[in-house]
């Protein structure tokens, strides 16, 4: 029997006890180790001794990305520098970048639960894992690698980009798993198809990081490569990095590592916790993180908790795929729209590709207009374009309650990217 990376507890009760112990430890550790946290907790009138049950979590103040920015360059650090062994940073798209420090134990914990991702995804030590994500300060290809080595599969540390080299590695090294962004996964699938090397490769699984994959994109990649499984791997720099959960082979939602962090879903406006099943903002509290513990950190990511238990029987709870960031939400004619809702609305329609762009304009009549550009499926007939655009507009209207003009373009005419693809173009003023 191979080593397992699954939780040491297997009942809900034991998991809750582990969470309570971790919560007590974290609040005490942050209070003792960080002036910023101590000030925050004192202001909220709550101290380490006040944490007696998991229900006390709700009494703790939120931590926000602003707290991380204000403490730049080393915010919320709760250990002396001599215990820090590494740092990573977010690319800093909004305001200053976020810098996070790690102790050796933090790295070991991260490596352990990242190995769990590969186990959860049904990999074996026979697998060969081509890691085509970035290495360095901004991204954490290194965590994909350390986790894979701890798990015991073979790493092909390819790094991002360079489709020609990636294809060659797939053929020569017979990689069975590829880790990349979903956009790059689609590019690879199209490239393998274009070169006609499908029968020379042994790829059976793709793991997508840093960007959510739409249903249509997954369907297209599956069709081109004949994959057995595709997984979305969640992660953010604030919470270690990638690898904080994975869907199992039943694909009923993302099992998240509740033995390493507590996940709450709150209403982003009222900040009240939401019941299971309702969509809201993810708030995370770490249970073992030393260098930069998180107490009720508001992630801005939107998702929901999946009720019930998974057919796999795991004690680990599930959240749905990330619907988008609350920062990415667009308001169009007084309707709140997340990019994820748009591809979800048209993803089941026959004859449409997976790529799309949304263009928002403010016209001289004083109103806002939305144009949705989609691609015809490969080999599709342009004679059906009018009918297709009518069907797509109808689905958008039905599911998101907004009207839009739909343009159907030739297959392959929207830009492909190896990184995250920009899909929303808001030309309205303000
Ligand atoms: Zn499961």
Q: Which residues contact 249 (CB under 8 A, 6 or more apart)?
A: 121, 122, 229, 312
* 244 CA → ligand 1 middle, Å: 15
Distance from the CA of 253 to the center of ligand 1, in angstroms?
8
- Measured in Å, residue 247 CA sits from the centre of ligand 1 at 6
Report CA(267)–ligand 1 centroid distance (Å).
26
Q: Do 300 and 335 share a structural domain?
A: no
Per-residue pLDDT at 2: 67
Distance 424 CA to ligand 1 centre (A): 33
372/389 Cα distance (integer angstroms): 9
* Ligand 1: centre distance to CA 271 (Å): 29
- pTM (2 d.p.): 0.83
- Separation of CA 317 and ligand 1 centre (Å): 9
Whole-number Å distance between alpha carbons of 98 and 91:
8
For residue 102, the cross-strand partners are 86
> 3-state DSSP call for residue 17?
helix
Residues 366 and 316 in one domain: no
CA of 127 to the centre of ligand 1 (A): 21
CA dist 92 → 100, 160, 325 (Å): 12, 20, 15
Q: Are residues 270 and 286 in the same domain?
A: yes
CATH number of the domain that residue 21 is part of: 3.40.50.12780
Distance 7 CA to ligand 1 centre (A): 14
Note whether 352 and 383 are same-domain residues. yes
Q: Answer yes or no: do 33 and 70 share one domain.
A: yes
Q: Which of 325, 341, 370 is the last residue of a domain?
A: 325
pLDDT at residue 88, as a whole number = 95
- 249 CA to middle of ligand 1, Å? 7
Which pLDDT does position 202 carry in this prediction? 97
* Region at 205 (left for phi over 0; alpha for psi -120 to 50; beta for the rest): beta
- The most distant pair of C-alpha atoms in the chain lies apart, rounded to whole Å, by 70
Q: How far is the CA of 106 from the centre of ligand 1 (A)?
A: 26
DSSP of 42-111, one letter per residue? Answer: HHHT--GGG--SGGGGGGSPPB-HHHHHHTTTSTT--S-GGGEEEEEE---SSSSPPEEEEEHHHHHHHH
What is the 418 CA–ligand 1 centroid distance (Å)? 30
CA separation for the pair 321, 324 (Å, rounded): 9
The residue among 370, 95, 314, 114 whose CA lies nearest residue 233 is 114
Q: Are residues 135 and 209 in the same domain?
A: yes
Find the 344 Cα to ligand 1 centroid distance in Å. Answer: 22
Question: What is the pLDDT at residue 76?
Answer: 96
C-alpha–C-alpha distance, residues 416 and 191, integer Å: 12
Find the radius of gyration of the CA atoms of the chain: 22
The structural domain count of the chain equals: 2
Q: Identify whether residues 208 and 342 lie together within a single domain.
A: no
Instruction: Determine contact, residues 340/328, Cβ cutoff 8 Å.
Output: no
Distance CA 76, CA 53 (A): 24
Measure 365 CA to ligand 1 centroid, in angstroms. 52
Centroid of ligand 1 to alpha carbon of 1 (angstroms): 20
What confidence score (pLDDT) does residue 106 get?
98
Q: How far is the CA of 204 from the centre of ligand 1 (A)?
A: 19
Residues 312 and 350 in one domain: no
In the reported structure, the alpha carbon of residue 262 is separated from the centroid of ligand 1 by a whole-number distance in angstroms of 18
**114 Cα to the center of ligand 1, angstroms:** 16
Q: What share of the chain is helix, strand, coil (3-state, %, to 5)?
A: 35, 25, 40
**Which residues neighbour 19 within 8 Å (Cβ) at sequence distance 6 or greater?**
54, 258, 259, 262, 287
Distance 120 CA to ligand 1 centre (A): 8
Q: Ligand 1: distance of its center to the CA of 216 in Å?
A: 23
Q: Ligand 1 centroid vs 250 CA: distance in angstroms?
A: 6
* Statement to judge: residues 274 and 355 lie in one domain: no
Q: Which domain holds residue 37?
A: 1-325
pLDDT (0 to 100) of residue 382: 87
Number of other residues whose CB lies within 10 A of the CB of residue 420? 13
Task: Tell me which of 290, 325, 360 is where a domain ends.
Answer: 325
Question: Could you tell me the CATH number of the domain that includes residue 362?
Answer: 3.30.300.30
Whole-number Å distance, alpha carbon 379 to ligand 1 midpoint, is: 37
String of b and e for 281-307 (b: at least 16 CB within 10 Å)?
A: bbbbbbbbbbbbbbbbbbbbbbbbbbe
Distance 306 CA to ligand 1 centre (A): 11
Cα of 387 vs centre of ligand 1, distance in Å, is 40
Same domain, 276 and 416: no
Kindly report the number of other CB atoms within 10 A of residue 148's CB atom. 26
- Are residues 70 and 153 located together in one domain of the fold? yes
Where a domain ends, among 298, 325, 352? 325
- Distance (angstroms) between ligand 1 centre and the Cα of 84 equals 35
What are the structure tokens assigned to 370, written together?
Answer: 């939305």
Compute the distance from residue 311 Cα to the ligand 1 centre, in Å.
Answer: 6
Per-residue pLDDT of the chain (430 residues; tens, 9 = 90+): 468 999 999 999 999 999 999 999 999 999 999 999 999 999 999 999 999 999 999 999 999 989 998 888 899 999 999 999 999 998 765 567 889 999 999 999 999 999 999 999 999 999 999 999 989 998 789 999 999 999 999 999 999 889 999 999 999 999 999 999 888 999 999 999 999 999 999 999 999 986 667 788 888 999 999 999 999 999 899 999 999 999 999 999 999 999 999 999 998 888 999 999 998 999 999 999 999 999 999 998 889 999 999 999 999 999 998 877 766 777 888 777 877 778 878 877 888 888 889 999 988 888 899 999 999 988 888 888 999 999 999 988 888 888 999 999 998 888 877 666 778 888 887 5
Q: Within this chain, do residues 243 and 379 fall inside the same structural domain, yes or no?
A: no
What pLDDT sits at residue 183? 86
Total residues belonging to the chain: 430
Helix 141-151 × helix 104-120 angle, to 10°: 70
CA of 145 to the centre of ligand 1 (A): 24
- Ligand 1 midpoint to CA 229 (Å): 14
Find the 124 Cα to ligand 1 centroid distance in Å. Answer: 17
């Amino acid at each position: 029997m191979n080593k397992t990376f699954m939780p040491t507890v297997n009942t809900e009760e034991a998991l809750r006890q582990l969470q309570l112990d971790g919560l007590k430890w974290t609040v005490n550790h942050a209070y003792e180790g960080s002036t910023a946290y101590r000030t925050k907790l004192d202001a909220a009138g709550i101290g380490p001794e006040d944490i007696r049950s998991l229900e006390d979590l709700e009494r703790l103040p939120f931590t926000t990305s602003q707290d991380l920015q204000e403490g730049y360059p080393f915010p919320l650090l709760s250990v002396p520098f001599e215990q820090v062994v590494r740092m990573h940073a977010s690319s800093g798209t909004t305001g200053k970048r976020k810098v996070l420090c790690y102790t050796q134990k933090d790295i070991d914990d991260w490596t352990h639960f990242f190995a769990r991702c590969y186990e959860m995804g049904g990999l074996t030590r026979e697998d060969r894992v081509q890691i085509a994500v970035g290495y360095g300060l901004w991204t954490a290809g290194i965590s994909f690698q350390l986790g894979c080595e701890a798990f015991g599969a073979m790493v092909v540390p390819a790094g991002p980009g360079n489709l020609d080299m990636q294809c060659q590695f797939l053929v020569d090294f017979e990689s069975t798993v590829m880790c990349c962004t979903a956009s790059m996964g689609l590019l690879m699938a199209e490239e393998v198809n274009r070169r006609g090397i499908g029968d020379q490769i042994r790829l059976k699984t793709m793991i997508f990081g840093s960007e959510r994959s739409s249903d249509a994109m997954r369907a297209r990649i599956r069709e081109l490569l004949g994959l057995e499984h595709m997984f979305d791997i969640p992660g953010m720099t604030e919470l270690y990095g990638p690898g904080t959960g994975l869907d199992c082979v039943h694909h009923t939602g993302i099992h998240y590592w509740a033995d390493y962090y507590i996940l709450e879903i709150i209403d982003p406006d009222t900040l009240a916790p939401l019941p299971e099943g309702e969509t809201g903002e993810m708030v995370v509290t770490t249970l073992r993180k030393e260098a930069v513990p998180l107490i009720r950190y508001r992630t801005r990511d939107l998702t929901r908790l999946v009720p019930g238990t998974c057919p796999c029987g795991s004690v680990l709870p599930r959240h749905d795929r990330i619907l988008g960031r609350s920062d990415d939400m667009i308001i169009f004619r007084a309707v709140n729209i997340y990019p994820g809702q748009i591809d979800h609305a048209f993803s089941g329609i026959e004859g449409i590709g997976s790529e799309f762009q949304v263009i928002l304009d403010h016209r001289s009549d004083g109103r806002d207009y939305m144009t949705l550009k989609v691609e015809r499926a490969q080999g599709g007939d342009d004679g059906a374009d009018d009918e297709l655009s009518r069907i797509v507009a109808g689905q958008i209207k039905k599911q998101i309650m907004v009207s839009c003009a739909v343009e159907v373009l030739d297959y392959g005419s929207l830009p492909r990217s190896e990184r995250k693809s920009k899909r929303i173009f808001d030309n309205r003023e303000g």
